[in-house]
Amino acid sequence: MNAEDIAFLSALHQRQSFIEGELSPRDVLEAQLSRIEIYNYGEGTGVNALTEVMHEQARTAASAASDEYARHRRSSKRVLPDLLGITVATKEKHALAGKTHSQGLRALSGKIAESDHPIVARLRAAGAIIHARTTSPEFSCATVTHSPMWGTTRNPWNLQMSPGGSSGGAGAALAAGFCTLATASDIAGSTRIPAAFTGNVGYKAPYGRIPGAGYLSVDWYRGDGPMGRTVADVALMSSIISGKHPADTNSWGETGTALFREEKQLAQLRIGVSFDLGDYPVTSEVMRCIGNAINKFRAAGADIREIKIPWTTEQVRKTTFAHFGHILAPAMAEIIGDSSEPRAAYTDQFMKDALDQAETVSLIESLQLDAIMNAQLTEATTDVDVLLCPTNAMDWLLADGDYLDGLQVGSRKLTHYWEGHMTSPFNVANQRPVFSLPCGVGADNVPVGMQVVGQSWDETTTFGVAAALEQVIAFRERAVMTDAVGAIKA
């Protein structure tokens, strides 16, 4: 096995190899650190997915984990933590005690976290090696990942393109082989959008299933979660970080419960399909990749049912931005305060758009809009086990784009760039578990993602279905990299 293959091994494969002595955590960490040195850095030629790499701390942890596996082989009675020796890159917004907690804002560049975020604490307790931290747009409010503070994060599949956002650094790091697992967050698609653009698996859990931190975790659109390269890896990480936590009074459920028990039999499933969720202008390349996957599911025996949802992108934008205008945008304005530090143009535009919408839609009216979308989704999906739809309507976003004037998708000009992503409806319906699975490679060598939307609170079925669909799709492609200068083949 060469170093590249070692860097891309799944967490489950790594764990078994560590137990059997075929590999050690040191081997995997060094393979990934080597890729970071080659491919992460360089203006315009590097991925720039990481804000910080903790080399020595990680090497010490990897050595300790390697020794623990060696002791286990001598005495198998030892109980090993579930993620012992597995590398995880954490989004910078997920606080690490003693490290920066700026969320990409220069105004907060001096802020130091006093304690670990709940999911970080749980990852550490499970034996994970947190060796790197990943980039995001300012305040995680954009679907591209660039900022005055960290520069431009690029998609390993095509350096001209963005990995998406806001967990763009997480998606890019996984696609480049810099880590095995990554933390992400999702208030309107910030896990699923970059997972789709980078060929990874992203998961948005039902609200409160994974604990958050701070007063904004009370926002019912929000959630923190996992990103990985396989459903099984994401299930393992989810089981560790999920469950009730004293730092988040809205968190619920057990910790350590196996979320993935078995693949569902496709022949026994009723799968609803919506290619456009009403009127999203989906590109021909995205339609091709989604259509190919649907044909495979049908051939495997699934009962495919095309369903209609009466949403419009205008309705979704009005609903979500009224919500943001009453909660997120005022919080952003308060946190930024009167700072004169430079900000990304998309930050000010996001706050303006949200606050403007809140002026015309009261909080009560915003709740009514949420209720309407939820009722429409419930009615449309009553007779199916899961709903499938694209993750992104467009083929790609440019790495350094701002898209302040909206988005052109085919012949249609969208008022706002968020209307090009098909994720935020399921933050309005945030009781539903949702995956994004890679289902092909589309225009300009950028991957295409497909959402798997479960029924309310039903994680077990959704994980089982996602695992079955993953096997049928059989997505095996990787971003192709050169071996010396950090340039990545488009």
Helix or strand run (H / E) with residue 441: strand 434-441
HSE-up of residue 106 (Cα within 13 Å, Cβ side) = 14
d(CA 90, CA 184): 7
pLDDT at 483: 43
pLDDT at 482: 55
Residues of the chain with pLDDT under 50: 483-490
If DSSP codes are grouped into helix, strand and coil, which group holds residue 41? coil
Burial class of residue 348 (count of CB atoms within 10 Å of its CB; 0-12, 13-18, 19+): middle
Which of 17, 24, 66, 91 is catalytic? The answer is 91
Task: Return the structure tokens found at 407.
Answer: 């988005």
H-helix segments, 383-445: 425-428
CA end-to-end span of the chain, whole Å?
Answer: 26
Q: Is the dihedral angle over the CA atoms 330, 334, 336, 339 positive or is it negative?
A: positive
Which of 102, 162, 190, 366 is catalytic? The answer is 190
Report yes or no on 249 lying in a domain. Answer: yes
Number of independent structural domains in the chain: 1
How many other C-beta atoms are found inside a 10 Å radius of the C-beta of residue 378? 13
Which of 24, 102, 136, 166 is catalytic? The answer is 166
d(CA 163, CA 145): 7
Task: Return the structure tokens found at 473.
Answer: 């799709």
Question: What CATH number did the domain enclosing 41 receive?
Answer: 3.90.1300.10
Report yes or no on 194 lying in a domain. Answer: yes
The per-residue pLDDT for range 443-483, each reduced to its tens digit, is 999 999 999 999 999 999 999 999 999 999 999 999 987 54
Task: Please say whether the beta carbons of 243 and 254 come within 8 A.
Answer: yes
Report yes or no on 478 lying in a domain. Answer: no
Task: Return the structure tokens found at 5.
Answer: 């293959």
d(CA 262, CA 464): 6
Report yes or no on 261 lying in a domain. Answer: yes
Residue 111 is a catalytic residue: no
Instruction: Give the dihedral of Cα atoms 24, 26, 31, 33; nearest 10 deg.
Output: 150
Residue type, 458: D
DSSP annotation of 255 = S
Query: Which range marks the domain in which residue 351 is found?
Result: 3-473
Residue 456 is a catalytic residue: no
Closest CA to 234 of 202, 258, 212, 190: 202
Report yes or no on 488 lying in a domain. Answer: no
CA angle, residues 179, 184, 187, in degrees to nearest 5? 165
The per-residue pLDDT for range 58-73, each reduced to its tens digit, is 999 999 999 999 999 9
Residue 190 is a catalytic residue: yes
d(CA 19, CA 16): 5
Report yes or no on 223 lying in a domain. Answer: yes
Report yes or no on 451 lying in a domain. Answer: yes
Report yes or no on 486 lying in a domain. Answer: no
pLDDT at 456: 98
pTM of the model: 0.97
